[in-house]
């Protein structure tokens, strides 16, 4: 299975250089966000079928919000959302456009082979 993670700042139009794993793997997770004061992110995971390490169809997309409090050295990852309408609400039009463009450039074949239900996430509201 092929997968790719993109981390956007909440208002960002392009992903940052680090992945969710790089930002959140080695820090303690807070139980709630009430005491956190930090940067808010949106983490997007795209999965697909692959052949020889290259995607041949994009199949699933998941997204979640996250918060990183560098001063306290802690963070919080919300549960992953996998329903199209939830993902569409989390992502801005600019973020959806960036992801769609990246996916099409990475593998036009995979984009063409993707189900309409996957592509529907990228339609404008």
pTM of the shown model: 0.91
* Cβ atoms within 10 Å, residue 76: 22
Residue 124 covered by a domain:
no
Span 29-72, pLDDT tens digits: 887 677 778 889 999 999 999 999 999 999 999 999 999 988 78
Please, what is the average pLDDT of the chain? Answer: 92
* Torsion angle defined by CA atoms of residues 44, 33, 17 and 60, in that order, rounded to the nearest 10 degrees: -10
Indicate the SS3 state at residue 114. coil
* Count of structural domains within the chain: 1
Residues 50 and 66: their CA atoms lie apart, in Å, by: 28
Characterize the bridge pairing of strands 2-9 and 39-51. Answer: antiparallel
Q: How confident is the model at residue 73 (pLDDT cuts 50, 70, 90)?
A: confident
Does some domain include residue 100? Answer: yes
Q: What is the residue range of 19's domain?
A: 2-112
């Amino acid at each position: 299975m092929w997968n790719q993670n993109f981390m956007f700042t909440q208002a960002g139009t392009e992903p940052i250089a680090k992945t969710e794993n790089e930002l959140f793997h080695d820090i303690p997770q807070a139980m709630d966000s009430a005491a956190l004061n930090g940067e808010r992110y949106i983490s997007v995971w795209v999965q697909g079928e692959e052949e020889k390490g290259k995607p041949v169809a994009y199949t699933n997309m998941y997204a979640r919000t996250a918060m990183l409090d560098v001063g306290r050295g802690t963070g919080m990852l919300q549960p992953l959302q996998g329903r199209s309408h939830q993902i569409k609400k989390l992502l801005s039009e600019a973020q959806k456009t960036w992801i769609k463009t990246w996916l099409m450039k990475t593998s036009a074949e995979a984009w063409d082979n993707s189900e309409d239900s996957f592509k529907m996430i990228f339609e404008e509201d």
